[in-house]
Structure 1
Amino acid sequence: MSADGYRYGPYRDGPDPLAPPVELREAVDQVGRDVMEGASPRSATDELLRRGTPATAGLDELTRRVWQRRAEIQRRHRLDGTLQEVRRLLDEGLTAERRRLASEASEDARFEEMRLDALPSGTAGAVSDLADHEWRSETGRSNYERIRELLGRELLGARFDRMKEALQQATPEDADRAGAMLADLNDLLAAHARGDADVAERFDEFLRRHGEFFPENPSTVDELIDALSARSAAAQRAMNSMTPEQRQELAELAQQAFGDPRIAEQLSRLDERLRAARPGEDWSSSGRFRGQDPLGLAEAARAMTDLSELDALAEQLAQSYPGARLEDIDLESLERQLGDDAGVDARRLAELERELSRQGVFERAPDGSLRLSPKALRRLGETALSDVVRVLRAGRGERDTTASGAAGEVTGSSRPWRFGDTQPWAVSKTVRNAVLRTASAGRSTVRLDVSDVEVAETEHRSRAAVALCVDTSWSMVAEDRWLPMKRTALALHQLISTRFRTDALQIITFGRHARQVELSELVALEATWEQGTNAHHALLLAGRHLRRHPGAQPVVLMVTDGEPTAHLEPDGEALFDYPPSPVTLTRTLSEVDRLATSGAALSVFRLGDDPRLAAFVDLLARRAGGRVLAPDADGLGAAVVGDYLRNRRG
């Protein structure tokens, strides 16, 4: 508490309002990449959540750690710890007892030695036969009592959480209280099974008397049954995982729990009632434990509970069931099994999924399908253009191309502002004018006046009409050129929409047919098997686009990895022929000549080393007075953007 009465602490009423927003840039890039490769937005999002991000482990990594943790439990432990401890205490006690009897010379001592020699070889039989033995050694007497206490603690601890620790220093009174609790619990469960009207009152009375045994504080009988049945089923699975001989030994030893066979009887009755009340619990499965670290019965039940919890987490992380959501993941269980970092990663993934939906990364298309929103496309375009600029800088030292402004490049000079001017202000000169004017008037307060404003002069910038024709035939997919082609279109679209806003860009795809598409359609375009590379149809559409902008500088950019094998007939039918027919070549070249007549700058980006394609695109360039570039797939974006900038500069 500060002196002025204010107290500062963590914000607890909902999400922290000052928390930084979820960073979606990396996520959108990953989702967009998968969508451009042909995945649906839903499957791309699922794949992102499975892979995770550089800062957050994905569902696959969390699942791997779950299975690793599960295998570690089974590989490290074995389940005969209680039997081993009982055998150790018994052998130690019998050795001390024989040593004490050997020191006595009486016939009674010889008779007791004969009784000890005649004990059954089995642990359970020996412990049972020693129930009425009058121990002469203190070690033997103490160890036998410890065996009875150990059995009681293990049996109760296997069915009641943290009971073993609570009874670590058990007294006869503690054993009596545990027996009374079991009897009352069985009576309560019997009343619940019968549907007695006073079950609620009996439950309240039961907790008042025995609440110390139930730290989870159940609020209803059903909650109590849920907790007990899960634990009892785990104990049963631990028994199922032992050998038949080990199970038989424990069943016989249970009669010696706290030296009172009624404890084992009450526990057996409790297990029967819980099994009847919750038959859906897993009472029959088992596990294979092959380690060297022995577990007692209570620890074995906890290990089986851990295995069950890990199985449930694996199912939740798989998200393979109908209606699965990341909110289904039990974060408390995840942190308990894998640590706090795993819980942080799961929360981040859930928040990432929510933010992808909330921030409008996807939108519903007219046909009802999901597609990337304009906001997401801008983000992908920024990334694609940034990669292109990086390549251009490395290759030719070009400057960043993200500066905006439709008026043109700043020349460095300025002039007084006139009504209607849209150029940017020359800020330093404007402020200097205001200071000088104020000082000359003898005033100390500087105020801007319209007469002070100067604008930066810019060079004239012409408009361009750009047709980007991209090959979408199957070979582009088969040769891993599909994604670079889409990223190239994204980069060019981003450059034109931010820096050269007055330019008119039209994207044209061509396979068997050509068509004009929006950027969102191209990004979501799925590859289909069809024969034909109809450059004729693509150039025809490109010419129409250029004619719609008669005052703009015409630019045609064509990306292809195959020679033209189809052309468009007057009736709209596309005819395919391979090798290319003379008609196809003639129709294609006629469109090239028409573009050349209109003064269009034609650049062809040849992908691959097909000699026939190389010869044909060289012919196109000669006919149109254009250029041929042969970049690899990774350099396609830089080649197209660089050539576009070159054409704009004339």
Structure 2
Amino acid sequence: MNFKFKQSGYRFEAYNEENVSTFEKLFDIFKELITYTSGDFDEAIDWLKALDKEYNLTTEDYTIEDFIEDLKKKGYIKEEIKPDGGNKISITDKTEQAIRKRALEQIFGKLKKSASGQHETSKKGLHGEPSGDLRAYEFGDALDRISLTESFKNAQSRQGLSNFNLTEEDLVVQDSYHRTQMSTVLMIDISHSMILYGEDRITPAKKVAMALAELITTRYPKDSLDIIVFGNDAWPINIKDLPYLNVGPYHTNTVAGLQLAMDLLRRKRQANRQIFMITDGKPSCLKMADGTYYKNSAGLDPFITGKCYNMAAQARKLNIPITTFMITSDPYLQQFVDRFTKSNKGKAFYSGLKGLGELVFRDYEQNRNKRMK
């Protein structure tokens, strides 16, 4: 988005791909590829070279090698010495943040423009009462929050008093604060089925998690988001670990994930707590008291599902709603999710992969606004 200054005022200038540099075009593709390859730089570059060969993304004046050099200069990648003496290139914190921001723009930006879906988008949660402070513009800020006077001052001081362009980096907004907070735990299934049947389900789940993390840290800094993954066991991961997340040769221990989520939420001081669970399969594993695992992938095992229903009921007693995002449409598994949801008095969505991000964001906003009243 650009503002272009004229004597008569300002206007929006439409996005024009001709104004985008080759580096920016390649970097946009690279961010997608590095997410898909779970942070593997070499594999992402191999994919980029293959795309370049097919679609002529580069020119004689700017090659993939030039792009890699620019990534180094701009601080998006770093080179390290491996124990065997060779070199290893990996992405930096700056790239991780850029990936999260891109995921937010892909999912939440699309949501803001769309009128379709199962919930209405509420604007109330995006604002709050003015705090009297100014801060730099961030993606998702409402246009009516922009302080034009201060933004023009920034542009003038940077470019001079005449013939200046008001760009996004010049914009400042009136900051706001929220009186209440929400604590969310996002559970991500990393069992082997998340890459079975020729469908990559883990990459969309990672994108949703990164986008939700970016939304909360930039728009609701007083809210908290914990992310846990579950296979045979469950464990928490950091937001910075998301680009590198991969599935394992695991069964699905839904109970372990719910236990950990509830333990994390019990420690929160916020009264408003919730669990989001992204999964594509049935619960098929339990860890027993002696440390062994009880596994059954053949159908819905009453012993395992019974434990899940008990966990859902416990969360209900703690006033912790569980929203399940089931990314398969198997009617057999819907029976389990329906009963699980009734036990918690939560919600369930059978979304597939295409609408997953929009559903998560709509529900986060709706839950937040409803529980903040």
Compute the TM-score of the two structures, normalised by the length of structure 1. 0.43
Code of the aligned partner of 2:319: G
**Counterpart in the other structure of 1:147:** none
Does the 8 Å CA contact 1:617/1:628 hold for their aligned counterparts?
yes
Does the 8 Å CA contact 2:184/2:273 hold for their aligned counterparts?
yes
Code of the aligned partner of 1:470: I
Code of the aligned partner of 2:236: Q
2:90 counterpart of 1:375:
no
Cα displacement (A) at 1:361: 2.1
Structure 1 residues 585, 496: CA separation in 2 closer, same or farther (over 3 Å shift)?
A: same
Instruction: Indicate which of 477, 482, 490 corresponds to 2:195.
Output: 477
2:97 counterpart of 1:384:
no
Cα displacement (A) at 1:424: 5.0
**Counterpart in the other structure of 1:541:** 260
Distance across 2 between alignment mates of 1:581 and 1:366: 49
SS in structure 1 of the partner of residue 220 of structure 2:
coil
Compute the TM-score of the two structures, normalised by the length of structure 2. 0.71
Code of the aligned partner of 1:27: L
Distance across 1 between alignment mates of 2:80 and 2:100: 20
Distance across 2 between alignment mates of 1:53 and 1:547: 53
**Counterpart in the other structure of 1:47:** 47
2:239 counterpart of 1:487:
no
2:128 counterpart of 1:409:
yes
SS in structure 1 of the partner of residue 235 of structure 2:
strand
Structure 1 residues 398, 25: CA separation in 2 closer, same or farther (over 3 Å shift)?
A: farther
Percent of matched pairs sharing the same residue:
24
Q: Spell out, residue by residue over 1:252-292, the C-alpha distance to the aligned partner (whole angstroms, 9 max, x if none).
A: xxxxxxxxxxxxxxxxxxxxxxxxxxxxxxxxxxxxxxxxx
2:175 counterpart of 1:464:
no
Does the 8 Å CA contact 1:558/1:604 hold for their aligned counterparts?
yes
Structure 1 residues 45, 458: CA separation in 2 closer, same or farther (over 3 Å shift)?
A: closer
**Counterpart in the other structure of 1:527:** 247
Relative contact order: is structure 1 or structure 2 higher (C-alpha 8 Å, sep ≥ 6)?
Answer: 2
Cα displacement (A) at 1:371: 4.5
2:238 counterpart of 1:518:
yes
Does the 8 Å CA contact 1:363/1:373 hold for their aligned counterparts?
yes
Structure 1 residues 51, 464: CA separation in 2 closer, same or farther (over 3 Å shift)?
A: same
> Normalized per residue, which structure has more helix?
1
Structure 1 residues 520, 581: CA separation in 2 closer, same or farther (over 3 Å shift)?
A: same
Code of the aligned partner of 1:354: E
**Counterpart in the other structure of 2:317:** 597
Structure 1 residues 55, 480: CA separation in 2 closer, same or farther (over 3 Å shift)?
A: closer
Q: Spell out, residue by residue over 1:339-374, the C-alpha distance to the aligned partner (whole angstroms, 9 max, x if none).
A: xxx522xx3433211011232323579998754322
Code of the aligned partner of 1:630: Y
Cα displacement (A) at 1:473: 1.5
RMSD over aligned Cα atoms: 3.6
Cα displacement (A) at 1:458: 5.8
Does the 8 Å CA contact 2:129/2:176 hold for their aligned counterparts?
yes
Q: Give the number of the structure whose alpha-carbon radius of gyration is greater.
A: 1
**Counterpart in the other structure of 2:14:** none
Instruction: Indicate which of 357, 363, 371 corresponds to 2:72.
Output: 357
Distance across 1 between alignment mates of 2:265 and 2:221: 17
Distance across 1 between alignment mates of 2:332 and 2:244: 31
Unaligned 5+ segments in structure 2 are 1-18, 136-144, 151-173
Cα displacement (A) at 1:562: 1.0
**Counterpart in the other structure of 1:575:** 294
User: 1:265-414 to 2 correspondence within 5 Å?
Assistant: 342-344=59-61, 347-363=62-78, 371-392=90-111, 393-396=113-116, 398=121, 409-410=128-129
2:27 counterpart of 1:34:
no
Structure 1 residues 38, 526: CA separation in 2 closer, same or farther (over 3 Å shift)?
A: farther
> Normalized per residue, which structure has more strand?
2
Structure 1 residues 427, 505: CA separation in 2 closer, same or farther (over 3 Å shift)?
A: closer
* Paired residue total: 308
Does the 8 Å CA contact 1:542/1:556 hold for their aligned counterparts?
yes
